[in-house]
């Protein structure tokens, strides 16, 4: 699923909003079963996602309840638009679900306000299905605070670019993979490809405001150094990267996702053969694969450093347990199962929507032949960074992700230039970071 910064959340059809209104929350009950010899524990779990993703989540739930027939778990789909605010409101009001997905940009808030349970101590017990050392260190982000673990990476979604193989063939354009095999999948190739797609009457690429760190890294630039110090205002490589994206947007080779008409997303445009390249993690794969007329593949992010690959952002969502759940022990147990090797295998095997965050089961991804170059996802995980890690320290500072993305939004909409964008980001970063540090 899409492991978010806020821009990463994909919209669930509005019909699911009605489901939420009819659903129970953390007041889960314990009741005598029909046989009268045991008790049934009822849990609720909320998450965002498109219909294909919700099926993936349900597989993880079904695997647990098959093993624990005395537990019933109701999945509550919540539209991604406003998911964070709804969750915060529910937690404040005491009616949040027992277990829930938390976006990487939200994790810092929940860890700080004490509304999610520390899972670290439980993960060291025999009742836990997962241990902290089974996960890649770079994926914890803001979920890990000292020796406390307020969430566990559900899985992960290193960014790749999807490209429409049929479109490239029909227009006679060399594919990104052909460039990559020649060692030339770089910014110049990306410029050439998007230019030719535009000339063929198509959109070249759809940019997202939340992926600018990846563009900076693709040029050897940094917003934060490896110690989490903000350096973007002094980093020329970072400036060049944003200039590159802005320039191609002005030329019409890149379309900004935030400028699309309401109700029209990059996924629909890709499936309807309107755009040649889009960026995402594996979360779009189940939906795209259901379209039998769509032939697509992954490619790594183009670079401008001379290297074939540079680090990419790794959107991550966490599973967390409501500290006020009436069934907190069972909630913790289910949460650790859902993210364990067994739980991730149940969800991700075959045409899954992410790749494992837990070590030792990569074969469930590499054995899937739905998309030819799935290895780029694995490569991206090994080289990438999750929001809240030192390279993306803004994810540790509540509210800073949104402030930064709002500035990139203005840039890509043509409402301000690159220099103004950098200046505003620097000012807002200093202000919010100082406030954050003063409160700790």
pLDDT at 38: 65
CA 51 to chain centre: 16
Task: Give 38's contacts (C-beta < 8 A, 6+ positions apart).
Answer: 32, 70
Mean pLDDT of 393-401: 90
Instruction: Answer for the pair 215, 241: CB distance below 8 angstroms, yes or no.
Output: yes
User: pTM for the complete prediction?
Assistant: 0.81
Output 23 or 436, whichever has higher pLDDT: 436
Q: 311-352 pLDDT, tens per residue?
A: 999 999 999 999 999 999 999 999 999 999 999 999 988 767
CA 108 to chain centre: 15
pLDDT at 249: 98
pLDDT at 320: 98
Mean pLDDT of 357-378: 91
Confidence of residue 168 (pLDDT cuts 50, 70, 90): very high
408-416 long-range Cβ contacts below 8 angstroms, 24+ apart? 408/209, 408/210, 408/212, 408/242, 409/209, 409/258, 411/242, 411/246, 412/207, 412/209, 412/245, 412/246, 412/249, 412/256, 412/258, 412/259, 413/256, 413/258, 413/259, 414/249, 414/250
In 3D, which of 253, 133, 143, 137 has the Cα closest to residue 197?
A: 253
Confidence of residue 437 (pLDDT cuts 50, 70, 90): confident
Phi/psi at 61 (nearest 5 deg)? -65, -45
Write down the residue that tokens 């990438």 correspond to.
Answer: 384
Q: Please, what are the domains in the chain?
A: 6-157+316-372 (3.40.190.10), 160-312+397-439 (3.40.190.10)
Q: Which two tokens stand for residue 299?
A: 């490619």
Q: At what angle do helices 341-348 and 328-338 cross, to 10 degrees?
A: 60
pLDDT at 440: 67
pLDDT at 309: 96
Task: Give 234's contacts (C-beta < 8 A, 6+ positions apart).
Answer: none
Instruction: Answer for the pair 339, 153: CB distance below 8 angstroms, yes or no.
Output: yes
Q: Which two tokens stand for residue 260?
A: 């699309």
Instruction: Answer for the pair 293, 220: CB distance below 8 angstroms, yes or no.
Output: no
pLDDT at 13: 41
Write down the residue that tokens 């695997």 correspond to.
Answer: 63
Q: 267-305 pLDDT, tens per residue?
A: 999 999 999 999 999 999 989 999 999 999 999 999 999
- Which one of 51-60, 187-196, 397-406 scores highest in mean pLDDT? 187-196
Instruction: Answer for the pair 231, 224: CB distance below 8 angstroms, yes or no.
Output: yes
Neighbours of 88 (CB within 10 A): 16
pLDDT at 3: 41
CA 298 to chain centre: 17
């Amino acid at each position: 699923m899409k492991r978010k910064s806020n821009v990463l959340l994909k919209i669930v059809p509005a019909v699911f909003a009605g489901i939420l209104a009819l659903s129970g929350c953390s007041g889960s009950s314990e009741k005598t079963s029909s046989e009268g010899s045991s008790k049934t524990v009822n849990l609720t779990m909320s998450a965002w996602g498109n219909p294909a993703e919700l099926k993936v989540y349900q597989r993880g739930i079904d695997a647990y309840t098959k093993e624990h027939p005395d537990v019933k778990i109701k999945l509550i789909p919540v539209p991604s638009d406003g998911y964070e605010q709804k969750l915060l409101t529910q937690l404040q009001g005491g009616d949040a679900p027992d277990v829930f997905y938390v976006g990487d940009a939200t994790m810092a808030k929940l860890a700080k306000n004490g509304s999610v349970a520390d899972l670290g101590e439980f993960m060291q017990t025999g009742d836990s299905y997962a241990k902290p050392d089974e996960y890649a260190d770079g994926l914890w982000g803001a979920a890990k605070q000292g020796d406390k673990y307020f969430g566990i990476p559900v899985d992960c979604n290193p960014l790749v670019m999807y490209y429409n193989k049929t479109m490239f063939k029909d227009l006679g354009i060399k594919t990104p993979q052909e460039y990559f095999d020649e060692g030339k999948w770089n910014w110049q190739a990306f410029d050439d490809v998007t230019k030719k797609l535009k000339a063929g009457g198509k959109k070249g690429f759809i940019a997202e405001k939340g992926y600018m760190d990846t563009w900076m890294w693709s040029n050897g630039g940094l917003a934060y150094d490896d110690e989490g110090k903000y350096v973007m205002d002094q980093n020329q490589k970072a400036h060049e990267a944003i200039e590159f994206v802005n320039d191609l947007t002005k030329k019409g080779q890149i379309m900004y996702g935030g400028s699309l008409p309401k109700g029209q997303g990059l996924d629909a445009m890709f499936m309807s053969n309107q755009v040649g390249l889009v960026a995402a993690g594996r979360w779009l794969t189940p939906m795209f694969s259901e379209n039998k007329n769509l032939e697509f593949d992954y490619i790594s992010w183009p670079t401008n450093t001379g290297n074939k690959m540079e680090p990419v952002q790794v959107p991550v969502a966490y599973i967390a347990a409501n500290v006020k759940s009436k069934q907190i022990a069972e909630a913790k147990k289910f949460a650790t199962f859902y993210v364990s090797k067994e739980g991730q295998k149940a969800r991700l095997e075959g045409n899954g929507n992410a790749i494992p965050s837990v070590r030792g089961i990569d074969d469930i991804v590499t054995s899937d032949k739905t998309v030819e170059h799935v290895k780029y996802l694995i490569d991206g995980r090994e080289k990438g960074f999750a929001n809240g890690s030192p390279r993306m320290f803004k994810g540790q500072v509540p509210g800073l992700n949104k402030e930064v993305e709002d500035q990139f939004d203005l840039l890509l909409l043509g409402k301000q230039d690159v220099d103004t964008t950098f200046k505003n980001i620097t000012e807002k970063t200093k202000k919010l970071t100082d406030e954050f540090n003063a409160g700790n």
